[in-house]
Chain A
Amino acid sequence: MIASANPQSRLRPGRYRIALAIAALIVVALVVSSILNYVYLDTIPGRTSLYGLLAVALIALGTFILVNAYNRDTAARRKQLIRAAVLIGLGVLLWLLVIDVFLFTQSAGPGVAAVCALACLPTTAFALVVVRRMDRNHKEPWRLVLVAAAWGAIVATSLVVWGETVWEQGAQHALVPGPGLDTSLAFMAGSLEELSKGLAVLLLFLVMRDEFDDVVDGIVYGAAVGLGFNYLESISYMTNIYSIFAPEGAGGVAAGVQWYARQVLGLFFGHATYTAFIGAGVGIARQLPHMRQKVIAIVAGFIVAIAGHFAWDAWAALFPIDTTVFVIVEIHLRTLILEGPFTAALIALLIFGIRYEGQNLREQLQKEASTGQGAILPEEVQILASPWQRLRQRLHALSRQGFRAYFKVSRLQTAQLDLAMERWHRERKEIDTPLEAEQHLRERVIQLRHWVPAA
């Protein structure tokens, strides 16, 4: 057994203080920007952001209760989960109401807003499933993936309203219309939107570090935040474009083109890729030993995200798009050429991260098996180290004893991998929890093993 640990981490209180400071900053920024928007701009988004504050507060409180629920015993956890679900549910409903009434319905009407929201739901849900499954070895809990997406959709979009409005109006009053103004607006979107989305990833890392293991987790959470942001942005663009082209009889087609561009073609290329880079930076920083390297890694992630977003916004219009039949090919090529390299670079980081994680988990599984404590048996190491073999084992259980057996085996495998992950972090002195936590995980595995029917 590994004797060393880092139970009295000096970093832990600091981490929570930073999280609290960022959260306070976000709340202040939201309140101030909403009031300023309303008082000085009096535009529809201004009213939305002011009246939406209550929804943001409900979701923030619900999120806090939700993430803390898992630090409590089973009885208290159930109560906390119900409270969190009620608060988040109320917040989402209120937000949708505000959005519907003050934004989308003003431009396109509630029916169109609802259709757009529903049209974007299956594609975004599909992308979230894919993104979560990218972590082949140790999947993130759904609650955190959904929290990340909700933050991207609601908090990050609210944060950028004031900043983007001020920047855009200032630039339109000061700069020469054309490429100079477009470049300025591309800097605006790249920096403000990535900063607001990145804050969500950073907060997840600071508050839920136990569920934020490495670069792969960072990519998953970052992409989830980006997908949430993309969801709301898609609805906003679709309803707006619908209202512009509807009197010409082309509203549906225009909204459909936006849907395809943002929810099919750009689903994984755009916001998901950019924010995943921020997550990758935070994920790499999580395992680096020195503070200076951690800061550099996080800043590097932000730079790549901002650059990717900037490149698309600034240069997409330069790509020649005809009005001939080749327009469809050209639109796809444009996405592939401008955003493809960033997505390819991210996939390279992801593949390397999965391999790195997989090799280390295998090493820890072997070490745990060699202790002879019974949580992981030597013959299980090969199976647990391979996602395909794990799936085969679950399917075997399914075919022999049905779904209950499938889920029991699944829970056992997850607990065994949790134990390996805990050992890995402990060996690297990246963990705050005392050694008893590891023993507790071991006991849980042994307990689960008794419930699993013999293969």
Chain B
Amino acid sequence: MSTSSYDQLRVLYRTLLVFATVGAVILAIGLVQFAYFEPFGEATGAKATIVGVYEFNSTTGQIVGSDRSEFPREGEFAAKVDWTSLPSNLVVDARWYDSFGTLRGQVGPGSPADLVDKSIVPVLVPEGYHYVLPGRYTFVVERLRNDLPVEVLGRRFVRVDRT
């Protein structure tokens, strides 16, 4: 093997190692990012009671029927939260996320006592659309610290059919 040939290969090898080092830094930043948004040791043991997810009448602002996990696309729906099930010293909110992870409805943040008269959390139809988008919806009651959600106190999944 000629020396120049090995040197060129060594340059390629070392260049790849430099790129891999940058890659490792990127992955390390990712881990830090994950730890920041999902901090350890935040479990308070508190559990929020999600009474259920119901059909929602947007005209009256009231829920209708029984607790369900699947809705037709044309139907509107909302979750009902029993805020009294939570300790009053917490800062909490409730949110709906669609299957793209986009926020589709929110109540709070505030103390559970502040939110008692906001027990119904409806899913909002995206602006310019006739119906909610189909897919899997996630409803969460979260505890916040410094305006950042750090713990899920209650969670429900709901499917919206395509047809």
> Any chain A CB within 8 A of the CB of B8?
yes
Q: Do A107 and B162 contact each other (CB < 8 Å), given the known contacts A180-B34, A300-B16, A360-B5?
A: yes
Contact B152 A311 (CB under 8 A): no
State whether B138 touches A177 (Cβ < 8 A). yes
- Minimal Cβ-Cβ distance residue in A for B157: A172
The answer, yes or no, to whether A331 is at the interface (CB within 8 Å) is no
Q: Are A308 and B23 in contact (CB under 8 A)?
A: yes
Residues of A within 8 A of B24 (CB): 303, 307
Name B105-133 residues within 8 Å CB distance of A: 129-131, 133
Residues of B within 8 A of A178 (CB): 37, 101, 149
B1 touching A304 by the CB < 8 A rule?
no
User: Ordered nearest first, which 5 A-B pairs have the shortest CB separation?
Assistant: A307-B23, A180-B37, A300-B20, A180-B38, A307-B26
Contact between A215 and B12 (Cβ–Cβ < 8 Å)?
Answer: yes
Residues A203-254 near B (CB distance < 8 A): 215, 243-245, 247-248
Establish whether residues B19 and A304, one from each chain, have CB atoms under 8 Å apart when the complex forms: yes
Nearest residue (CB) in A for B74 is A247
Query: When the two chains form their complex, are residues B134 and A244 in contact, meaning their CB atoms are under 8 A apart?
Result: yes
Q: Which of B38, B133, B134 is close to A176, meaning CB atoms less than 8 Å apart? A: B38
CB–CB B34/A183 < 8 A: yes
A52 contacts the other chain (Cβ, under 8 Å)? Answer: no
- Contacts A172-B138, A176-B150, A177-B95 known; list 16 others, CB within 8 Å: A176-B142, A176-B149, A177-B138, A179-B33, A180-B36, A180-B38, A181-B38, A184-B38, A244-B162, A297-B13, A297-B16, A301-B16, A303-B24, A304-B22, A306-B23, A345-B19
Q: Indicate with 1 or 0, residue by residue over B63-106, a CB within 8 angstroms of chain A CB atoms.
A: 00000000001000000000000000000000101000100000
Q: Nearest chain A CB to B48's CB is how many angstroms away?
A: 13
Q: Which residues of B contact A (CB under 8 A)?
A: 1-2, 5, 8-9, 11-13, 15-17, 19-20, 22-24, 26-27, 30, 33-34, 36-38, 73, 95, 97, 101, 129-131, 133-135, 138, 140, 142, 149-152, 155, 157, 162
Q: Which residues of chain B come closer than 8 Å to A359, judged between CB atoms?
A: 8
Q: Complex Cα distance A427/B9, Å?
A: 15
Once A180-B34, A244-B162, A307-B26 are accepted as A-B contacts, the answer to whether A356 and B12 lie under 8 Å apart by CB is yes
- The yes or no answer to A349 lying at the interface (CB within 8 A) is yes
> Does A280 reach chain B (CB closer than 8 Å)?
yes
Q: Is residue A310 within 8 Å, beta carbon to beta carbon, of the partner chain?
A: yes
In the complex, per-residue mask of A166-179: 1 if CB is within 8 Å of any chain B CB, else 0: 00000011011111
Check B155–A310 contact: CB distance below 8 A.
no
19 sampled A-B residue pairs with Cβ under 8 A? A176-B150, A177-B95, A177-B97, A177-B138, A177-B140, A177-B152, A180-B34, A180-B38, A243-B134, A243-B162, A281-B16, A284-B9, A284-B13, A297-B13, A307-B27, A310-B30, A348-B15, A349-B15, A352-B8
List of B residues within 8 angstroms of A79 by Cβ: none
Residues on B with beta carbons closer than 8 Å to the beta carbon of A175: 38, 152
CA distance A353 to B8 in the complex (A): 9
In the assembled complex, the CB of A110 is this many whole angstroms from the nearest CB of chain B, namely 15
CA separation between A200 and B96, bound complex, in Å?
40
Task: Determine whether A182 belongs to the interface, using a CB cutoff of 8 Å to chain B.
Answer: yes
Within the assembled complex, what's the spacing in Å between the Cα atoms of A311 and B24? 11
Closest to B152 in A: A176
Residue A161 is within 8 A (CB to CB) of chain B in the complex: no
How many whole Å from B25's CB to the nearest CB in chain A? 8
**Are A296 and B23 in touch, CB under 8 angstroms?**
no
Select one of B16, B134, B155 contacting A173, CB under 8 A. B155
Bound CA span A176–B97, Å: 11
User: Which residue on A lies nearest to B33, using beta carbons?
Assistant: A183
* A303 close to B27 (CB less than 8 A): yes
CA gap between A177 and B30 in the complex, in Å: 16
B16 contacts A304, C-beta separation under 8 Å: yes
Neighbouring A residues of B101 by C-beta, 8 Å: 177-178, 181-182
Residue-wise, chain A 146-179 has the 8 Å CB interface mask toward B (1 for contact) of 0000000000000000000000000011011111
Contact B19 A277 (CB under 8 A): yes
Of chain B, the residue at the smallest CB distance from A427 is B1
Report A365 CB to chain B, min CB distance, Å: 15
Q: Closest CB of chain B to A428's CB: distance in Å?
A: 5
Query: Which chain B residue shows the least CB distance to A296?
Result: B17
A349 to B24, CA, bound (A): 18
A280–chain B nearest beta-carbon distance, Å: 6
- In whole angstroms, how far apart are the Cα atoms of A149 and B9 in the complex? 27
Distance of A353 from chain B, by nearest CB (Å): 6
Taking the closest CB of chain A, its distance from the CB of B27, in whole angstroms, is: 5
A275 to chain B, nearest CB (A): 14
A69 within 8 A of B: no
Interface: A186 (CB within 8 A): yes
CA distance A287 to B2 in the complex (A): 13
A240 to nearest B CB, angstroms? 9
Q: Which residue of A lies closest to B37 (CB)?
A: A180
With beta carbons under 8 angstroms apart, the residue of B9, B36, B38 that contacts A287 is B9
Does A293 count as interface, using CB distance less than 8 angstroms?
A: yes
A284–B38 contact, CB under 8 A?
no
